């Protein structure tokens, strides 16, 4: 069933699944069926990549079938992420292969392509009633050590995956974040048709965080 909590409301209509995708902190205990887990990673693999390199790798830990890996990924997170991420049934790490396989030269687009794959995965997850929450708040070295990630591969982000839960289950501050209105920059701040805008009087570089 589609997640309809805190939809992104936009003046211009876009695919409904894009307005339903969000980064929840409340997760239901319900495990993710293996066939759906497979679907989200196949969706990731459908993404475009420079030279078709497919530089993405995913380490996965599920509470149900790979609890040791799950715990290692959880331990890499900052405490501010651990407090809510530990409720998710699946944790994952996106990893970039930093050199092209065909000539061993540095792949400057590896992280870009990993992000594309994870974004595609998140949309597929939403379509299946699941949600992904990506995180930068983790310690890459902890993951490198815990999993023996070799040189030439870089952890890019950690993410939760699961069915969204009841926001009421969260502590007050996180519940407020979960339900805070979701906004996006107007197009004029990031789409520059015809040329780069004049800086004076423009707000194109102001983040709205
Ligand atoms: C690369 C990346 C890193 C992020 N790091 C964190 C994080 O460490 N902790 C967290 O709670 N959210 C994190 N987020 C989630 C963002 O805060 C969230 O995507 C953003 O506020 C937009 O909300 P939405 O995904 O619900 O539309 C991260 C998202 C991305 C894409």
Residue-wise pLDDT for 139-150, tens only, equals 999 999 999 999
Using CA atoms, how far residue 45 sits from 60, 102, 133, 179, in Å, is 15, 19, 18, 31
Three-state secondary structure call for residue 38: helix
Pocket-forming residues, ligand 1, beta carbon under 6 Å:
22-23, 81, 134-137, 157, 182
User: For residue 50, what pLDDT is reported?
Assistant: 98
Cα gap 39→41, rounded to integer Å = 5
Question: What is the whole-number distance in angstroms between the Cα of residue 144 and the centre of ligand 1?
Answer: 22
- Domains in the chain, ordered, with CATH? 16-170 (3.40.109.10)
User: For residue 1, what pLDDT is reported?
Assistant: 85
Q: Which residue has the higher pLDDT, 117 or 207?
A: 117
Residue 84 Cα: closest atom of ligand 1: 11
Best of 135, 157, 171, 182 for a ligand 1 pocket test (most atoms within 8 Å of beta carbon): 135
User: For residue 208, what pLDDT is reported?
Assistant: 52
The secondary element (H helix, E strand) that includes residue 120 is helix 110-127
User: For residue 204, what pLDDT is reported?
Assistant: 55
CB 47 within 8 A of CB 117: yes
């Amino acid at each position: 069933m589609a997640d309809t909590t805190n939809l992104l409301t936009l003046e211009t209509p876009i695919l409904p699944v894009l307005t339903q995708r969000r980064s929840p902190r409340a997760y239901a205990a319900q495990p993710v069926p293996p066939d759906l887990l497979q679907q989200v990673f196949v969706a990731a693999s459908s993404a475009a990549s420079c030279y078709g390199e497919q530089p993405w790798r995913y380490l996965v830990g599920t509470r149900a079938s790979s609890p040791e890996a799950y715990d290692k990924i959880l331990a890499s997170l900052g405490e501010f992420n651990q407090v809510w991420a530990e409720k998710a049934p699946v944790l994952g790490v996106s990893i970039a292969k930093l050199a092209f396989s065909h000539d061993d030269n540095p792949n400057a687009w590896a992280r870009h392509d990993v992000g594309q794959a994870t974004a595609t995965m998140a949309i597929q997850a939403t379509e299946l009633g699941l949600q992904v929450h990506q995180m930068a708040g983790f310690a890459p070295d902890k993951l490198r050590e815990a999993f023996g990630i070799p040189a030439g591969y870089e952890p890019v982000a950690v993410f939760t995956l699961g069915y969204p839960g009841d926001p009421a289950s969260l502590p007050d501050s996180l519940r407020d974040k979960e339900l805070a209105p979701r906004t996006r920059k107007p197009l004029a701040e990031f789409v520059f048709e015809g040329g780069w805008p004049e800086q004076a009087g423009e707000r194109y570089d102001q983040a709205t965080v």
